[in-house]
Amino acid sequence: MTGLKEVLLEATKEAGRIILQYFDGVFKIDHKEGINNLVTEVDKLAETRIIEVIRATYPKHSIISEEIGELMKPSDYKWIIDPIDGTVNFAHGVPICCVSIGLMHEDKLILGAVYNPMMNELFVAEKGKGATLNGNPISVSSNANFKTAFMVTGFPYNWSQYTEHPIKVFERIVLEGLPVRRLGSAAIDLCWVACGRFDGFWEYNLQPWDCAAGYLMVEEAGGRVTDFSGKAYDVFDKETLATNGKIHDDMIRVIGKR
């Protein structure tokens, strides 16, 4: 897996270099579906560079990326790319955004990297070998007391597809007396659960590029990731619950209340 990891890290760092170069500068901003669903020229520049790096060594691997879509090949390997997770933050000069890349083999995540160049934080996970932050091993928090849990979440732009408004779930968590943050980057949220800064994270309607690398990060750091009912997680699911494992059942209980 050495060659794969080297390419992953090269692609991640190259994209990070582009993000840092343009951060808080002047660049073109466009809108995708929905008024606040942004894409910048920097997203596209970073994405192009990531794909160039991957294709130079692995031209026959499949790619799923946020801006360009699916570039499918007859391969057991699939790269899942978000060139900038937290584009709205990036567009407004908020340094909570990152490049996120996950690699699947036969539909199982085997590698992931999340890099926030503004904060100089590079998270890396390898299946069965743990997760690191800037080369140092990380682990989820040891907090087993749900009443003192520190949580993070995000909200989808489109609410109409849900039988229950996500704000209702947010309200139930807050009424438990828990502090909750909304940072604007699911990949960073998951990594910050993985390194113990948060005890748990939940969000509706994430895309695979939002959560692929972060999902592996949490699992390799000793945490647990499921859907809202506790079923085994898949990055193509639309419900994401990630915790240190110790408060997971409490989160399922609160989310499931009506």
pLDDT digits (tens, 9 = 90+) for 228-239: 999 999 999 889
- pLDDT tier at 30, thresholds 50, 70, 90: confident
For position 104, what pLDDT does the model report? Answer: 97
What mean pLDDT comes out for the span 155-161? Answer: 71
Kindly report, residue by residue over 202-226, the tens digit of the pLDDT. Answer: 999 899 999 999 999 999 999 999 9
What would the CATH number be for the domain defined by 2-137?
3.30.540.10
- Compute φ and ψ for 145, nearest 5 degrees: -95, 105
**Across-strand partners of 241?**
202, 226
- pLDDT tier at 36, thresholds 50, 70, 90: low
For position 38, what pLDDT does the model report? Answer: 66
Question: For the chain, what is the mean pLDDT?
Answer: 92
What mean pLDDT comes out for the span 127-147? Answer: 98
- pLDDT tier at 40, thresholds 50, 70, 90: confident
The answer for residues whose C-beta is within 8 angstroms of residue 60's C-beta and 6 or more apart is: 73, 74, 75
Domain range annotation of the chain: 2-137, 146-256
- Express as a percent the part of the chain with pLDDT over 70: 94
- Compute φ and ψ for 57, nearest 5 degrees: -110, -35
Kindly report, residue by residue over 63-102, the tens digit of the pLDDT. Answer: 999 888 888 888 999 999 999 999 999 999 999 999 999 9
pLDDT of 32 strictly over 70: no
* SS3 state at 230: coil
For position 34, what pLDDT does the model report? Answer: 57
Contacts within 8 Å (CB) and 24+ apart, 27-35: 29/91, 34/157, 34/158
- Express as a percent the part of the chain with pLDDT over 90: 79
Q: What's the CA gap between 109 and 213, in Å, rounded?
A: 8
User: Is the pTM of the predicted complex or chain greater than 0.85?
Assistant: yes
What mean pLDDT comes out for the span 146-150? Answer: 97
- pLDDT tier at 4, thresholds 50, 70, 90: very high
The topology under which CATH files domain 146-256 is: D-Maltodextrin-Binding Protein; domain 2 (3.40.190)
Matching residue, tokens 């390898």: 126
